[in-house]
Amino acid sequence: MGVKQDIRVAVDAVVFGYESKNNLSVLLIKRGIEPFKGEWALPGGLVMNDESLEEAVERELKEETGITIDYLEQLYTFGKPNRDPRNRVVAVTYFVLVKPNHFTIKADTDAADVKWFNLKELPKLAFDHQLVLDTAKERLKSKLSYQPIGFDLLNDEFPFSDLEHLYMTILEKEIDRRNFRKKMLSFGIIEETDKIEKIGSGRPAKLFRFNKVKFQQLTVNNFHFDIKFV
């Protein structure tokens, strides 16, 4: 007996953004069509017959939000039978890390609006997108122990306090800052520049940058970074 199958394949993207001293944000679109018209959701859509999954997610991001990306990572596949009221849809999800100030976002195609939302102030999400977002947040937290993600979220040169704040924002915990600084510098993956940044009335801060060559050498040797909390 033959198997009857009528399944569509979609892609969805969790786009995280971070700006200095702010909280982590996620990019959402307001749906312009049914189902869930007028509600907020992750950008995404059906995969065309002639494109790869990666090409599909890049196209959907460009069409619905105006964002182009250099780095994306496959997250998880969501496929419960009733996750989309129209059809049986299996969604391959990705997460993306960007600097929001590098883009001018613009809604198009079936998105009525597009906006950055603070992760602590999210609207109700359509479909099962809250589950997708929660899964992406957990992946992001776990990545911090084996891959410094500042490459994609911090400026090319940054005060050390920005790196500390980024880690605390993602982990949602206070870290042992002295231990964190000592360990991070001992790995050699960030290096001090000869530049100084003056912020407000505080003491001028030295600027650092990532050493990508050193980082790539460490990842070959199974880099692991154990973070201590306060």
The reported pLDDT for the residue numbered 22 is 77
Sign of the alpha-carbon torsion through 101, 107, 111, 115? positive
The reported pLDDT for the residue numbered 206 is 93
Which whole number is the average pLDDT over 6-19?
Answer: 94
CB 109 within 8 A of CB 126: no
The reported pLDDT for the residue numbered 216 is 79
The reported pLDDT for the residue numbered 154 is 86
**45 plus 101 within the same structural domain:** yes
Looking up residue 182, the CATH number of its domain turns out to be: 1.10.10.10
Query: Three-class SS string for 55-80?
Result: HHHHHHHHHHHCCCCCCEEEEEEECC
The reported pLDDT for the residue numbered 30 is 97
Task: Give the rounded percent of residues in the chain with a pLDDT score beyond 70.
Answer: 97
Which whole number is the average pLDDT over 7-22?
Answer: 90
Question: Cis (ω within 30 of 0) for the bond into 35?
Answer: yes
pTM of the full structure: 0.90
The reported pLDDT for the residue numbered 230 is 81
Number of neighbouring beta carbons within 10 Å of residue 140: 20
Looking up residue 23, the CATH number of its domain turns out to be: 3.90.79.10
Strands (E), the chain: 7-17, 25-31, 40-41, 44-46, 72-78, 88-98, 111-118, 158-159, 190-197, 205-210
Q: Answer whether residue 1 shows pLDDT above 70.
A: no
Which whole number is the average pLDDT over 67-76?
Answer: 89
**119 plus 160 within the same structural domain:** no
**196 plus 112 within the same structural domain:** no
Structure tokens at 206: 């030295």
Count how many domains the chain has. Answer: 2
pLDDT tens digits, 106-138 = 998 889 999 999 998 999 999 999 999 999 999
What is the residue range of 180's domain?
Answer: 150-220
Q: Answer whether residue 150 shows pLDDT above 70.
A: no
**159 plus 117 within the same structural domain:** no
Q: What is the CA radius of gyration of the chain?
A: 20
pLDDT tens digits, 184-215 = 898 888 999 999 987 666 778 899 999 888 88
The reported pLDDT for the residue numbered 99 is 85
DSSP class of residue 101?
G
In total, the chain counts a number of residues equal to 230
Q: Is 120 helix (H, G, I), strand (E, B) or coil?
A: coil
